[in-house]
Amino acid sequence: MKILGTGCASPSLAVTNKMLEEFLDTSDEWITERTGIKERRLMTSEHLLDLAVEAARKAIDDAGMTAADLDYIICSNVVNEYSTPALSCLIQGAIGATCPCLDINAACAGFIFALDMAEDKLRAGKAENILIVCAEEPTRMVDWNDRNTCVLFGDGAGAAVVGRGDAMKTVRLTTSSRKEVLYQVRRLEPTPYLDGEREFAPLVMKGRDVFKTAVSSSTADIKAMLAETGIDPSQVKYYVLHQANERIIDSIRGLLGEQPEKFPHNVERYGNTSSASVPILLDEMSRAGKLSKGDILVMSAFGAGFTTAGCILEWTK
């Protein structure tokens, strides 16, 4: 596969750390020092579908296509207003596509899981052009009285259109079932037959555990992918990592012994947008003219599950 076009969209409201100080026992200093985050975008009048559709349209346009050229849509999403139909179905209708589509949930690692699925479909000759949309509103999963979690997240959507090519050098996916470090239990409708009360809870996160697991797993994935492909670190133009926390990115960089310039970031402006973070960053880099044909990009992400995903991709646009 290769990437043919990218797009992204964010809610219009930027919520700064100072604005959080107005109702939370927190400070700009604490959030900046521990996470690097200065502001995040939050939904007001928008709905997640609006962002998903905007990002999708931009990616299709960037690829020089129309919705009629798509023959599959994969949407990576953890939560949105609709349990059913899938967000991908709503996107399909809104952009005027007619192809099959489905949603996946690999949490923050969803973009790379989707790239891997797309690669399989393209290889099998079952599709020519696939739209991937990562649309997330993690700010609707957290308790806004819980300073441990709510300061970390932001809403957004990132998209890519992929087609046949040999840009994908390797993909590495892992899943290890560890609910206790990061989960949310949503409220479902009651029935007359349920035995006992069912609990629901906003996002629960063991921050330090997630931090350590993220750093060690991403570093191991990146080293394994470089070794497998024989790509020397000096050939890597950028490490495009999941934007959860600047300290996580910096720790991975330190363990790889790499230069800061190779680690682009926008977590300071968006917070953690879950699976949307990698395609949003990629789109911003592409539109800012930072990517050239032939650049080797190493991507890596981690999320609830626990999931990790990495890939090495040549930029071919």
- Pick one of 3, 107, 114, 256: the residue that binds ligand ACO (CB under 6 A): 107
Region of 291 on the Ramachandran plot (φ > 0 left; ψ -120 to 50 alpha; else beta): beta
Among 100, 165, 207, 233, interactor with ligand ACO by CB under 6 A: 207
Structure-token pair, residue 104: 């996946």
CB of 245 to ligand ACO, least distance (A): 4
First and final C-alpha spacing in the chain: 12
The residue from 6, 10, 35, 80 that contacts ligand ACO (CB under 6 A) is 35
Comparing CB distances to ligand ACO, the nearer of 72 and 302 is 302
Task: Tell me whether residue 245 is one of the annotated catalytic residues.
Answer: no
197 secondary structure, DSSP code: P
* Residue whose C-alpha is closest to residue 169's, from 103, 112, 105, 126: 112
Q: Does 106 bind ligand ACO (CB under 6 A)?
A: no
Interface stretch with ligand ACO, choices 69-77, 190-198, 210-218, 228-236 (CB under 6 A): 210-218
Residues 6 or more apart whose CB falls under 8 angstroms from that of 220 comprise none
Find the radius of gyration of the CA atoms of the chain.
Answer: 19
Q: Least separation, in Å, of the C-beta of 166 and ligand ACO?
A: 30
Please indicate whether residue 272 is annotated as part of the active site: yes
Tell me the three state secondary structure of residue 287: helix
Length of the chain: 317
Q: Which of 30, 82, 144, 183 binds ligand ACO (CB under 6 A)?
A: 30
CA 154 – CA 44 distance, rounded (Å): 12
The CA-atom distances, in angstroms, between 208 and each of 7, 142, 204 are 33, 17, 12
Which amino acid is it at 313? L
Nearer CB in complex with ligand ACO: 1/244: 244
CA–CA dist 204, 150 (Å, integer): 11
Cβ pair 76, 110 in contact under 8 A: yes
Quote the least distance from Cβ 214 to ligand ACO, whole Å: 6
Catalytic residue among 101, 150, 242, 311: 242
Among 59, 131, 240, 244, binds ligand ACO (CB under 6 A): 244
Nearer to ligand ACO, 237 or 265 (CB): 265
Residues in region 269-288 near ligand ACO by CB under 6 A? 272, 274
Answer yes or no whether residue 317 interacts with ligand ACO by CB under 6 A: no
Q: Judged by CB under 6 A, does residue 304 bind ligand ACO?
A: yes
Q: Which residues are catalytic?
A: 108, 242, 272
The contact set with ligand ACO (CB under 6 A) reads: 26, 30-31, 34-35, 107-108, 147-148, 151-152, 182, 205, 207-208, 210-211, 214, 244-245, 248, 272, 274, 303-304
